[in-house]
Structure 1
C-alpha cells in the first residue's frame, strides 16, 4: 500500500491527465458518481442538494481544517497582508482579463454571440470563491495550509458581496439578454451551498484538531494527504465525465480552440500573479504555494450550478467554465511538479 501511494505522489500530474482521458473514453462511472443524490437541506431559504460530489469536496476541506490549530488562524489575522492581497487579486485579475478579452478578441472574433457567451462564462469564473481543491494541492506541496484555508474561507464568506460585484461588472460590457441575465444572477444567492460545502466542513476540521490535539493529528497527516489526492482524482474524473463526451459530440472546433486558449491564459496569469505577489510581499515558499494554488483555482463547481439554473437558454456559457475547471487542475499539476523540482 505504501508503495502504491508513493507512486501516486510521484506521478500525480500524469494521473490527472489520465483521469481526463478516461473520462472521455469511459464516462459512465463518472456520471453515475456525479448523479448520486443523498437528499436536500434548506438553509437561508435556499434548497441545496446533498450530492456525493459535494461531500467529497467537503472532505477536502475537513481534512484541511484538521491540520489547522485555532491559534494558527489568529496568527494569520495578525499578519493579513498575504491574505488580503490574495483576496483582492482573486477578484481583480479575472475581471481585468475579461475586459481585455472584450476589447481585443471580442472585436476580432467572427461571431458576436459567441463572444457574449465567452464573456458571461468569464464573469462566472471571476465571481466564484477560491476552490476547495486548492487546499489539497497546497497540502501536497507542503504549502501554508493556514493561508490556503484563510483564502477560501474569506473569499467564501464575502461571496454574497464579491460575487454580485464580479457579475455586475462584466454585465456592463455584455449586451442584451446576456447583460440582463448577469445582473439577475447577481441578485440570486448560493449561500446555502457554500455554507455546507465550505464553511461547515472547515470549522468541523478545526474543531476536531482542537479535540484530538496536534500530536494525534500529525500521526494521521500522511494518510490525509493520500486521501486528498484520491478524492481529487475522483472529482476530476467525475466532473470531466459529465462534460467531455457532450463537448466533443458535435464540436465547434474554432470556438473550443479559442475558449481553450483564453481559459489557459487566464489560469496561467492567475498562478503567475500568486508567484509575483509572493515575491513582492517577500513571503516564504510555503506561502508562495498557498497563493499560487489559491489564485489559480476557482470554485467552478458552484459556477456550473448557477449557470445551469440561471442561463439554461445559453448553453455555450458553460464551455468556458468547464474549460477552466479542467485546465486549472492540469496547470496545478504542472506547477506542483515545478515547485517540488528543486527539492528533488
Structure 2
C-alpha cells in the first residue's frame, strides 16, 4: 500500500516539476541558510587533496540514475546511422563557440563590466555541459526517436572530459581581452579549462553514468524493472534538493540586495542563449531533412544542456561571485519551457507532456533508453 502511495505521489510531483522547482528557488531566496550550509559540506580524500562536496555527490547520484535508464542494445540503431548522432554531439560541443561571441557583442553597452562577466561565465558553463538526460523524457513524450536522443546524451557525456574544457577554453579566447572583450579576466576560466573541468566531468558526470549502465546490465531487465520506480522517487528528491542548494547563494543575495536590472538581464541573456540553441537544432534537423521523430530528437538534444552540472561547477569555482548562478538557474527553467514549445515536428503546436521529466538527470528509465 505504502509503495503505491509513494509512486502516485512521485507521478503527481513529476507533472508539477516546474512548479516545484520554482518553489525550491523561492525557498532558497527566502531561507538560503540551510542551503549554504549543505553546499559547504565537504568530504576530503587522501588522494592529491581530492574533495567531494554534497552538490557533487547529488549530481553523481543523478547521473547514476541516468545510466540506469540506458539499454545499450537500443542505441545500436542510432549508431548504425551516425550522421545525425555525430551532428547532435558536435553541435552540443561547439555551442559556446557559436553563441557566446554574439552575446558578448549584445552586452557591450551594459555599464557594469563585472555583471557582464558573471552573465557570460554562467551562460558559458551551461553551454559547455553535455546534453541533459531530461532531453530523452521530452523526446519520448513528443514522439521523438528515443534511441537517437539517448545515444546523443550518452555520447556527449562520455566525451565531456574533452569537450567541456575545449568549449570553455575556446569561448574564453573569443570573448576575452584578445577577442570581443566581454571578459576582462580569464585567469580563473583558464584554470578551470586547464585542470578543473576535465577531472570534474570525468568524476562527476562520466563515471557515475557508466556505473548506472553497468548496474543495469548486471541486474537484468526483470530486476531493474522492480527497482526503477524507487529510482524515480530518489531522483525527484535529488533534483529538488540540488535545485535548492544551488540556488541558495545566488537568490538569497539577490533578495537581500535586489538588483532588478541584473535579474532582468540574466533572464534575457539566458533566454536568448536557450532560444538560439533550440533554433540551431531545429535548423540542423531541416537542413539534414530529418523525419519527424529525428527532428524532435535533434532539436531537443541541441537545446537542452545539463544545467545541474553547470550549477555545481559554478558554485565550486565561482563561489565568490554568486551572480554567475543567475543565468544558470534561469536557463534551467527556460530550457524546459522551450522544450515544451519546440519539441514537436514543424507545423505542429508544442504538446509535450511534463508527466515524467527527470530534470537534468535521468531519462525516463522505464522505456526511454
Q: Please report the TM-score for the alignment, with normalisation by the length of structure 2.
A: 0.76
Aligned position for 1:5 = 10
Q: Structure 1 residues 336 and 231, CA, compared in 2 at 3 Å: closer, same or farther? A: farther
Contact 1:16 1:236 in 2 (8 A): yes
Q: Secondary structure at the match of 1:158?
A: helix
Question: In structure 2, do the counterparts of structure 1 residues 225 and 294 end up closer, same or farther at CA, with 3 Å as the change threshold?
Answer: farther
1:194 Cα offset (Å): 1.9
Please tell me whether residue 334 in structure 1 is matched to residue 330 in structure 2: no
Alignment of 1:167 onto 2:172 = yes
Kindly report which structure 2 residues correspond to 1:263-342, keeping only aligned pairs within 5 A, or say none. Answer: 263-281=270-288, 282=290, 285=293, 288-289=296-297, 291-292=299-300, 295-298=303-306, 299-305=309-315, 307-308=317-318, 315=321, 318-319=322-323, 321-335=324-338, 337-338=340-341, 341=351
Quote the offset at 1:304 in angstroms: 1.1
Does the Cα contact within 8 Å between 2:93 and 2:156 map onto a contact in 1?
no
Equivalent residue number for residue 100 of structure 2:
98
Where do 5+ consecutive residues of structure 2 fail to align?
141-145, 344-349, 356-369
Question: 2:149 aligned with 1:147, yes or no?
Answer: no
Give the aligned partner of residue 206 of structure 1: 213
2:60 alignment counterpart:
58
**Unaligned residue ranges in structure 1 (runs of 5+):** none
1:266 Cα deviation (Å)? Answer: 0.8
Worse overlay, 218-227 or 165-174: 218-227
Aligned length: 330
Q: Is the 8 A contact 1:130 1:295 kept in 2?
A: no
Displacement of 1:22 after TM fit? 1.4
Alignment CA distance shift 1:266-1:247 (3 Å)? same
Report the alpha carbon displacement of residue 73 of structure 1 after superposing the two structures with TM: 4.8
In the TM superposition, what is the alpha-carbon distance from 1:103 to its structure 2 partner? 2.7
Show the counterpart of 2:26: 21
Deviations 1:118-141 (A, max 9, x none): 444444444x3226xx21453366
Give CA deviations for 1:217-247 in whole Å, capped at 9, x if unaligned.
2343344333322221111111111321113
C-alpha distance 222-116 of structure 1, shift in aligned 2 (>3 A):
closer
**How well do the aligned residues superpose, as a CA RMSD in angstroms?**
3.2
Q: Does the 8 Å CA contact 2:29/2:254 hold for their aligned counterparts?
A: no
